[in-house]
Structure 1
């Protein structure tokens, strides 16, 4: 059986079991050849960082994205996309480092805001 076929039960099997849920394809390491990695069970393009819907975890849809949005990159080797993936991962780590707020600074900010709220006027706080 082809590993790219949708791994779900047929509609008659789903209705017979009462489940009714469709199982979506899981990420496969070979999808990097289309320039995609996985982010929260959804395909993410390593070139433009666009996250497609979970239903787009099909090689044909990932290949179409590559051919339409990144036409110049469609013939690049797998190693190119692996380097892009490493770059994307390092960007994500850097962004999370920047987003983390110092807890002490946040606590001080809340305490100042509380004092301003109690005084009712920030000018009065400066005078005291």
Structure 2
């Protein structure tokens, strides 16, 4: 049985995540530290938890803030 292949919704940018593709899987990548999480982590509650634990000062930042970071 293979792992579920989650697709990356653009709304996840509000948590500071974009994605990279590896072996036909979309993996969440944090735009601040560029850390790549496993495909199973691509759930809103897990992405938000990562943001709150790793970068608590960025929790109130807007989607536009993370889009700017993503493009740099």
Q: Does TM, normalized by the shorter one, top 0.5?
A: yes
Is 1:23 the counterpart of 2:4? The answer is yes
Q: Secondary structure at the match of 2:51?
A: helix
Alignment partners' CA distance in 2, 1:31 and 1:71: 17
User: Unpaired runs of 5+ in structure 1?
Assistant: 1-19, 88-128
1:36 match: 17
Structure having greater relative contact order (Cα 8 Å, sep ≥ 6)? 2
1:44-75 deviations in whole A, cap 9, x for unaligned?
A: 00011100111111111110110000000000
**How far off is 1:23 after superposition?**
2.0
Distance 2:3 2:38 in 1: 14
Q: Which stretches of structure 1, 4 residues or longer, exceed 4 Å deviation after superposition?
A: none
Give SS of 2:71's match: helix
Q: Compare the two structures and name the one with the higher helix fraction.
A: 1
**How far has the Cα of 1:25 moved from its partner?**
1.5
Aligned to 1:53: 38
Deviation, 1:21, is: 2.6
Counterpart in 1 of 2:53? 68
RMSD across aligned C-alpha pairs, in angstroms? 0.9
- Structure holding more strand per residue: 2
Correspondence 1:77 to 2:62: yes
TM-score w.r.t. the length of structure 2 is 0.88
Instruction: Work out which of the two has the higher radius of gyration on C-alpha atoms and give 1 or 2.
Output: 1
